[in-house]
Amino acid sequence: MNSDRSTPSADAKSIAVRSIEFVAAGSREDFDAIIHPDAVNHETKTEPPHTRVRGPGSWHATALWLRRPFADLHFEIGNVVAEGDLVAVEVTMSGRHVGLFLNFDEGGAVAGAFPPTGRSFAVTQSHWVRLEDSLVIEHWANRDDLGMAEQLGWLQPSPAYLVRMLWARSRARKSPPA
């Protein structure tokens, strides 16, 4: 679906890349400048409930959710391809696990809690961004969440880490983060 005002390919690529890079270091104002007020991020189903809204607030909330547990969060941009109003961006996301990471079920309850391991990770992702009126209107992603979990020690955890995970989930469920 093309918008009435077409976005030249180079501009579309730049906007899509910035929408990803801003997750690591962008401000709310940065997201306001490139995310459509009615934009939908289709990747928020395991994120906190407050990220599951339309518009730039969703992207900013997702960014803050990821920045809390992951220091040195970075997206290395690989290939970027645009056709019409759709842009595909290949990235490697990296960081270091220094804070509690929470994921959520579809109802918004804490589903998993992963205390900091201090480990670093680097995983590949592909992001698909659709633009309308030179703003991001939709986003989808394919991520290597399994690879990230393996690198961070979340899978096949030691007995001690398993206890820490269970304790952290129990605490988070009793007092969900803001």
Handedness of CA 50, 157, 76, 72 (dihedral sign): positive
pTM above 0.95, yes or no: no
Residues 6+ apart with CB under 8 A from 158: none
171 by DSSP, 3-state: which?
helix
What pLDDT shows up at residue 7? 56
Give the Å distances, CA to CA, from 29 to 26, 107, 109, 172.
8, 29, 29, 30
Is residue 125 within 8 A of residue 80, CB to CB? The reply is no
Kindly report, residue by residue over 45-58, the tens digit of the pLDDT: 999 999 999 999 99
115 by DSSP, 3-state: which?
coil
Is residue 67 within 8 A of residue 7, CB to CB? The reply is no
What pLDDT shows up at residue 4? 43
Structure tokens at 127: 């992001």
What pLDDT shows up at residue 2? 43
Residue ranges of the chain with per-residue pLDDT less than 50: 1-5
What pLDDT shows up at residue 10? 85
What pLDDT shows up at residue 122? 98
